[in-house]
Structures are given as C-alpha cells and as structure tokens.
A = this chain, B = another copy of it.
Amino acid sequence: MATKSELEAFFIHEFPQANFRIDEVGNKAATISIEITHAHLRPGGTVSGPTLMQMADAALYVAILGEIGLISLAVTTNLNINFLRKPSADGRLTAKCRLIKMGKSLAVGDVFLYSDHIEDPVAHATGTYSIPPK
C-alpha cells in the first residue's frame, strides 16, 4: 500500500505532466481534483470530454496504487464514461473513485466527477486496470 505523500512524490517523479492534486487515498478509494483553466475548455464553455476522461482514469490509478503500492506498469484495459451535465467552466473538478473489485490481476472501480457549485455529478465512469504479476 502507498500513502498520500508517497503517491505525490511518485507522480512528480514519474508523471511530471500530471497536474492533479490528491485529496484523499486509502480504503479502496481515492479523491483527486484539478483547477479548471482555459486549456481544459472547449467551445460553449464546457470542460472537454478528454479532461473528464483523464481525471476518471487518474482517480482509478491513484486508488489502485493506494492498495498495491507504486507499480507504474498497471495499465487501463477498459474505460466507460457517461457525460451527465455541463461542467462549470471555472472552479475545481473533483473525481471520486471507489474500487469495486481489487483482484490479483484485474481491478475495477467506478468514478463520480463533480464540478464546484454543481451538486449532482457531471460525469460517471467505470474502468478496469490490469495489474502485472509481481
């Protein structure tokens, strides 16, 4: 298992382009967030779909590493996302992941994505990671 501070150091070293904040991790769950900037928007003032997908995928990855430790080679095998509501064009975007299966070779989790100032989730994703044998 990896702690929040171990995960923060890992992402700075291994994924310097990752720009999210780890808010919570542990107990088969993780919450991460980013500040929405102009680079995340698309015409109509909506946060782009890829930004939401990237946050969903990252929240799953953080939750899994929180359980199995700093194994950078775990890879996504499937991601399914439903876009539910128009996200806010400002404030933070938060992704809350819970693992619903943490097996030896596959982990599955779901993720709710929230915008500041909007009570209901703006998107929901389900994803599977393949975990390499030790």
**A100: B residues at CB distance < 8 A:** 82, 84, 112, 120-121, 124
Complex CA gap A100/B44 in Å reads 23
Give the copy number. 4
Q: Which residue of B lies closest to A49 (CB)?
A: B76
Nearest Cβ in chain B — how far from A82, in angstroms? 5
* Given known A39-B17, A43-B14, A110-B110, contact A83–B76 (CB-CB < 8 A): yes
**A121: B residues at CB distance < 8 A:** 100
B-contact bits for A47-64, CB 8 A (1 contact / 0 none): 001100110010000000
Nearest Cβ in chain B — how far from A51, in angstroms? 9
> Quick check: B57 and A42 within 8 Å, CB to CB?
no
Using a CB–CB distance below 8 Å, which chain A residues touch chain B?
14-15, 17, 39, 42-44, 46, 49-50, 53-54, 57, 72-73, 75-85, 100-101, 105-106, 108, 110, 112, 120-121, 124, 126, 128
